[in-house]
Structure 1
């Protein structure tokens, strides 16, 4: 039976299982570009929960192998056609794309990624079951006809009962593994929120100094605040994040894309904590984000709270509001649900 170490070391073994790309979705949902065939470097890194630098280093070490499995770098006319067809907004002159086979290939190269390890384990389980499938062999000439019939009956029973049972168990194991991964993420986010609220309560009770996050946000200029929000977007997996910092932005300060390809537009308001965001500001942003740019995720992030009227406008137009308390929690490490 092929083991994990052999798979990591042997290109020949890896090439023999590249068609089993269905294991990727059994371990974790793999988001594709609008063409339904490819993913970008940032999307692959997000899938395996590694840095882009780690992924690019692996690509550099095994470029020839990955090119054979569907990895490619688009430039010039091909890149322009892809941008036009998929709506990708990037000023880069080149774009690396991975097919599903190339992503599976990466899973067999990344030693330190827990997601990649789970893909390898599931892949090896499936390979073992495939090798254990019964095959038709001619009955030996030195056995009796009765023995041959018994062998055939055993083979039939194994093929109809035991092997399908193992297949079902392995498939169920993969589904449960995916659920456990999602559950682990939810628990980690709850832990962050509990730590954040515990810290806030301790601050209110006077057991700790004034909250560092709130103090840092309060000291930011509007330019620094927009860059801070852009960094939070990148931390939560967004790519192509651009801070406009122009007064003719129609209410949109930051643009980008989530890890699964959804477009994002953000309006930032750095105001005193006693102020509220009026409905006029919300209407302007909602019109720009929804009616003009047609973005998928519209975020209005403020260092204060929102008026009742602006909250109502946001709800009607599908704008996600992030008020002072939510911003402080986001800055402290809590993931923003709208980006997941």
Structure 2
């Protein structure tokens, strides 16, 4: 499994993921035009949190690829027909529209956008989860294994069998000697291209490296609020806590999970399963302070979220000793890295 940034480098990888347009709404809600199918350049820029020029520049550099996936510039009669059908009120002489597939394509090309980075990460999380599902069909597994490095096998055959065969034919042929020499050179060029391709792929995999915790956040994002609270309870038990109780729902007195550390300290946890683009605000930290410190007199106050925290929320947490577990720390904790405050 390779790092999400490799999607920026490899069109083959991008093409293999373009059907997963549902990822867009899982990372951030995508607003569509009245036709329910397209967005404009301004809407794409707003979704990714970048300026219009960033999207226009990207389209200029990758126009052919984006057109293949649903980008289109409307003009003249075509634009007038689209306005009539979709109900758009605009006086522009041209209008660029993007399908959801094209927007996903943009996400895999746009470098300076946190939303685009999250989409790429989510795509590879889903791909990793699909690839690591158990497969009962042993024939299918064997075939997949056979295809892993087929380019290397072809290179080996060309170098060890086909080229020597041409050498032997050239030595014994008179009339077709020049044709055989030309064919041998073609084969040697193919062999070199395959070697170069394998080297590029190997370099990408080595320099980018695997994401250490690939697949974890995709699984967590798929949980409902109750499953997420149960997941945090499991992590607390794994890290040595006892008396772990899930309180989430009506009457939880402002906390979702309570526990006791191995050395006897009381733990209260608030669990927020938010979309990655929706941070935890300071007001939510303030509510938790009252529950954790006043009502429960907690020794360890944990605020666990599937997203980030605003600077104001972090400042409050630091001032009052609340341990924040954001998306990145939650991923590591779920992967088996103990939470330091529980030790």
Q: Based on CA coordinates, which of the two structures has the bigger radius of gyration?
A: 2
| TM-score of Structure 1 vs Structure 2, range by shorter chain | 0.3 to 0.5
With structure 2 as the length reference, what TM-score do the two structures score? 0.44
With structure 1 as the length reference, what TM-score do the two structures score? 0.44
